[in-house]
Amino acid sequence: MDQLTTTQLMTIILPLAVVQLVLMITAIVVCARAEQTRGPKWMWILIILFFSLVGSILFFLVGRKQS
Amino acid sequence: MTMGIRQWFVLYRKEQLELVRSYKLLWVPLVFILYGAMQPVMSYFLPDILAHAGNLPPGAVISIPKPTASEVMAQTLGQFNTIGLLILSLSVMGIISAERSSGLTSMILVKPISYLSFVAAKWAAMALLVIIAFAGGFGAALYYTTALFDSVDWLNSLYAYLLFSLWLCLAGSLTIFFSSWLRSGAAAAACSLGVAALLALTASAFPHALAFSPGMLPQLAYSQYGAAASEGHLAASVATTIVLILALQFAASTLLRRRPSIDAL
């Protein structure tokens, strides 16, 4: 196992962090703009913020009401 | 016939719009990209993670054989066979049953529209989602495997991508079929995952008798990366899968014709 420099580590981790951030921000925006969510809106925002990946997936799967 | 095609295209445009409006076309590919990248990155950092986990006597040396690039790709496909299938089924499950409970289906189907083009339009939207999302996930896996481990054979990767996409499409078709049969979307997702698991299990348990089963597809995809050579006949499995996908669409449209709407009981 060769030692990685910080730069190399960043090039590995950074794109994934960006993708996850985009997913999270999308979920928060959709949640904030939704007319109705299944359950209180502030709860969903907290879930998305605290469990970013799983929380966003959960919100998209069960949090949105069919308009 | 041309009339039917035009009708299908109009319905398909509606479904495509629905994919965009429900943000599925955005979040499912993003999630697939993350899961595709996760396996190679985790495999790469595993020795570090174990070393930092502590509770080792000083001087202990951990030597984990570094997996080959092909092994990592095969493992990633295995991940998609669980998490990927689950996310796909759950995001597709409402595609018919939600519309039926809201009465939208009966409104659409009052117009002179063939049930088959209605189902086929939904199927095409699902296939589009699968192809785009899995291209993202597979691409991310390929990128990280090549960057962190070694390059893999391009042609084999293409075959693996196509075979596995077909397998995911079959799972989606099962979800659409159960979605047009059962009242609840969750039940449709559960049934389709169960049937997919059953297909894969029986195929791996009786590889000789079921050499042309659709359940062979994931194994055929793994074997592109030199995993245990599977007994399956590639062409035969692909053919039976396509036939099964078509049969499921016919069955779904027949079921809808009998019960277009669910009366709220």
pLDDT, tens digit (0-9, with 9 covering 90-100), for B228-238: 555 568 889 99
Task: Answer whether A60 sits within 8 Å of B34, measured CB to CB.
Answer: no
B264 assigned to some structural domain: no
Query: Which domain does B154 fall in, by range?
Result: 1-258
Average of per-residue pLDDT across B153-159: 92
Task: Answer whether B26 sits within 8 Å of A26, measured CB to CB.
Answer: yes
Q: How far apart are CA B101 and CA B183, in angstroms?
A: 8
Specify burial of residue B29 (Cβ count, 10 A radius: 0-12, 13-18, 19+): buried
> Using CB atoms, which residue from A22, A61, A64 is nearest to B30?
A22
Number of domains in chain B: 1
Average of per-residue pLDDT across A2-26: 85
pLDDT exceeds cutoff 70 at B261: no
Confidence of residue B49 (pLDDT cuts 50, 70, 90): confident
More reliable by pLDDT, B97 or A22: A22
Greatest Cα pair distance, chain B, in angstroms, is: 77
B265 assigned to some structural domain: no
Distances (CA, A) of B105 to A23, B79, B110, B111, B255: 31, 35, 8, 10, 13
Name the pTM for this structure: 0.90
Residue keyed to tokens 């989606």: B172
B263 assigned to some structural domain: no
pLDDT exceeds cutoff 50 at B264: no
A and B: number of Cβ contacts within 8 A: 46
The pLDDT assigned to A1 comes to 46
Task: Answer whether B148 sits within 8 Å of A61, measured CB to CB.
Answer: no
Q: Does the CB of A8 have a partner CB in chain B at under 8 Å? A: no
For residues B230, B235, B240, B244, the Cα torsion angle rounded to the nearest 10 degrees is 100
Task: Answer whether B34 sits within 8 Å of A16, measured CB to CB.
Answer: yes
Smallest CA–CA distance, residue B34 to chain A, in Å, is: 7
Smallest CA–CA distance, residue B91 to chain A, in Å, is: 6
Is residue A56 within 8 A of residue A24, CB to CB? The reply is: yes
Q: What is the pLDDT of residues B105-149, one digit of tens each?
A: 777 777 777 888 989 999 999 999 999 999 999 999 999 999 999
